[in-house]
Chain A
Amino acid sequence: MTDQRWPAALAEARLHVVSGKGGTGKTTLAAALALALAAGGRRTLLVEVEGRQGIAQVFDTPPLPYAEQRIAVAPDGGEVRGLSVDAEAALLEYLEMFYNLGLAGRTLRRMGAIEFATTLAPGLRDVLLTGKVKECVGRTVGDGRGGRGRVPLYDAVVLDAPPTGRVVKFLDVTKAMGTLARTGPIHSQSEGVVELLHSGRTAVHLVTQLEDLPVQETLDTVDEIHEAGLPTGAVLVNRVRPSRLPATALTGAATGAGPGTAGLRSGLEAAGLFLKDEEVDGLIAETVEHAERVQVEAAVRSRLDAAGLPQLELPELAEGVDLGGIYELAELLREQGVR
């Protein structure tokens, strides 16, 4: 049986691109997703491309070098590796591969030559970064049976992508290639990247919160993703807080009628709480704010529903997000069908 929150098509994806408005918890949920997908003894790779060292912060490890290394172990034996891709290092890697620069590569980097080349054509930077991601998705190892069979090294690759404002431009490698030479090694690699990104092996997920601006950006980005012909994944609704109020009290509170002071006071007294007027007023003020927020959430949620994408929900963690929180979020993703 498939859970519609994580349809079978998403379970097939090998590359999970995670974007979202800044501040919504994009990196946190990319990390939780990599951990959730590693369950059951699988191996996943979590990649960042903006040099922020966000992965190291989330997993509380020293800054990641330009090399894949283990950053977390899933509860039942799976493994998450992390990689911070850097466009300049990726370019050097290419040059090494095709031109055998040897030590000279480092000299070039010191001179600023590499930065120059990646800056001169902004498309090049994106092509290099996505190219490295594609290489990771496609890398294989022996199947461990001693024969010639090979299996993918990573069961899934999760990309902590640029935020919603930039992500489609970043993934639209076809456009970026327009600024580059029509032939040569990077060009042919890019064709493979385009093929991967526009196939069912990729899913672009968007992280949001139930607030006006993040939801609006999510909807705008969904349109952009469709226009660019990229495959959409799920919407990850982050920091969902429970609605504590009974439905009847909710509308009353939100429309300014207040939750009914007399009834509330007698209820509080039944709980053994005999409070001063200003305390009761304070509780009412908190309740009204909550009710207003729940109404805003309901309104933006219906706009989000109209996008028709699968949705997963993650709660606001009372203790904030630390390493334990990532494991908790990963488990919640598993419970909602992520595999």
Chain B
Amino acid sequence: MASRTTRAGRPEHLDLDALLADRATKVLVCCGSGGVGKTTTAAALALRAAEQGRRVVVLTIDPARRLAQSLGLEELDNEPRTVPGALARGAGSRSGGELQAMMLDMRRTFDEMVAGHTTPDRAQAIFDNPFYQTISTSFSGTQEYMAMEKLGQLSATGAWDLIVVDTPPSRSALDFLDAPQRLSSFLDGRMIRLLSAPARAGGNAFRKLVGSTFNLFAKAVSTILGGQMLADASAFVQAFDTLFGGFQERANATYQLLRAPGTSFVVVAAPEPDALREASYFVERLSAENMPLAGLVLNRTHPVHATLSGARAREGAETLEASQSDRLELPYRRAPSDASSPGSELAAAVLRLHADRVESAERERRVLGRFTRAHPAVPIIDVPAMSTDVHDLDGLREIGRRLAA
């Protein structure tokens, strides 16, 4: 698209249709900072792939209500459901395609993970522990961890040939990669053992090193948190102890899945400095982790549809406005016949609009320019903004067309 040409050269075009058509693509992860349209992008890509004949499941994290409804996700049951109406009307739908969708239920995924790794009695003891309630609903990495866990489960069933994953609305795109590790190291951490059973965990040398400071701290913490909290934490850790090995293994397996051939990351950003800064960090991080980046989806751009320059449009609008105000102020003086045509007010408005649009397209291009100078090899696709909100399958199909343009 002409609007993306920069002095630094034209970035490579991201061909998402080729990626979706490639049977070797098994997992597609959509990531990016909050508010850039990740969920919609994931849903639109999944629908498009299904209508091109693939068996697809899309894992959404926290879809807006109406988008969820359009995917048939009124009930949160943590299992994939067939999307009603997908494939029914898609022009050029090929046979064999299938679209299922699900919304992550973080608490339930955690419960299932616990239940799958221990006896029913022990599992119940864990569920009843108030500390488990905290960890499974409020810990800042839990949602990310459970998204990874669910991805691992979906992948293990082998029921789909493409899994599209939306990532949690973290404040920063990087949290998705870090949080699972954070949660497991927290649960497995030395502190939790130390506080729950100091004698067992620390060993003499350690206790000497920290000495009375630690006792003082433990006292302070229990003053703040209350003794019961520590007792609950201790019980929780003991019950959880046997599960750690299994959890760690699973987290590692999922992490490996993200690096396996067949997995691709799509970074989604809006043409705003903050979103592109996050996208930049993410691109660097993926490259450091050897995780395969397909490219950048630059969402909600405002490309111009006419090549008329902003300056000429503004000039034209001014000419028309001047002759209009002449007519208003001096009604007895005959305005030049061509400037008094009925379309001149409309034309002036249309020209002003175009000038605004050229200005915002230029700003978007400058913002993107900073990204492409740092990452010239990252393929990019612009997705022009829709003027109305997307909340049905037709809207998603239209986004899909724009993604594949």
Contact = CB atoms under 8 A, between A and B. Distances in A.
Nearest to B228: A181
7 contacts: A98-B220, A104-B216, A180-B224, A216-B64, A249-B346, A273-B316, A318-B359
Contacts of A245: 346, 349-350, 353
B225 A124 contact: yes
A184 B219 CA distance: 12
A123 to B, nearest CB: 9
Nearest to A187: B224
B343 to A, nearest CB: 3
Contacts of B224: 117, 124, 180-181, 184-186
Interface size class of B (residues with CB under 8 A): 35 or more
Contacts of A179: 134, 225, 229
A248 to B, nearest CB: 9
A283 B350 CA distance: 7
A312 interface: no
Given A112-B191, A282-B305, A283-B306, A22 B35 contact: yes
Contacts of A331: none
Interface string A300-331: 00000000000000001011100000000000
A265 interface: yes
A296 interface: yes
Given A180-B225, A266-B343, A271 B319 contact: yes
Contacts of A264: 343, 346-347, 350
A184 B227 CA distance: 12
Contact of A262 (B65, B172, B343, B352): B343
A122 B320 contact: no
B389 A211 contact: yes
Interface in B324-368: 338-354, 356-357, 359-360, 363, 367
B72 to A, nearest CB: 20
Contacts of B33: 22-23
B115 interface: no
A134 B253 CA distance: 45
Interface stretch (A145-153, A195-203, A284-292): A284-292
Listed residue (A124, A249, A264, A283) with the most chain B CB atoms within 10 angstroms of its CB: A283
A246 B346 contact: yes
Interface of B: 33-36, 64-65, 131, 134, 138-139, 169, 171-172, 186, 189-192, 195, 210, 213-214, 216-217, 220-226, 229, 233, 270, 272-275, 304-308, 312, 315-317, 319-320, 323, 338-354, 356-357, 359-360, 363, 367, 387-389
Interface string A262-298: 1111111111110100111111111101101100100
A279 B388 contact: no
Contacts of A180: 224-226
A259 interface: yes
A24 interface: yes
A276 to B, nearest CB: 9
Nearest to B169: A22
A270 B315 CA distance: 12
Q: Which 6 A-B pairs have CB atoms at the shortest separation, nearest pair first?
A: A267-B347, A23-B35, A263-B343, A267-B343, A282-B306, A22-B34
A286 B387 CA distance: 10
B343 A296 contact: no
Nearest to B308: A279
B343 A282 contact: no
Listed residue (A260, A272, A316) with the most chain B CB atoms within 10 angstroms of its CB: A272
A52 to B, nearest CB: 6
Contact of A113 (B217, B273, B307, B359): B217
Nearest to B340: A270
A260 B346 CA distance: 9
A256 to B, nearest CB: 12
Interface in A193-220: 211-213, 216
A120 interface: yes
A41 B65 CA distance: 46
Given A107-B213, A282-B304, A116 B195 contact: yes
A131 to B, nearest CB: 12
A296 B395 CA distance: 15
A211 B388 CA distance: 9
Contacts of B270: 23
Contacts of A259: 346, 350
A241 B345 CA distance: 20
Given A259-B346, A292-B387, 19 more contacts: A21-B35, A24-B35, A52-B171, A119-B139, A120-B131, A121-B229, A124-B224, A181-B225, A249-B349, A264-B350, A266-B347, A269-B341, A270-B347, A271-B317, A275-B306, A279-B306, A279-B307, A318-B356, A320-B363
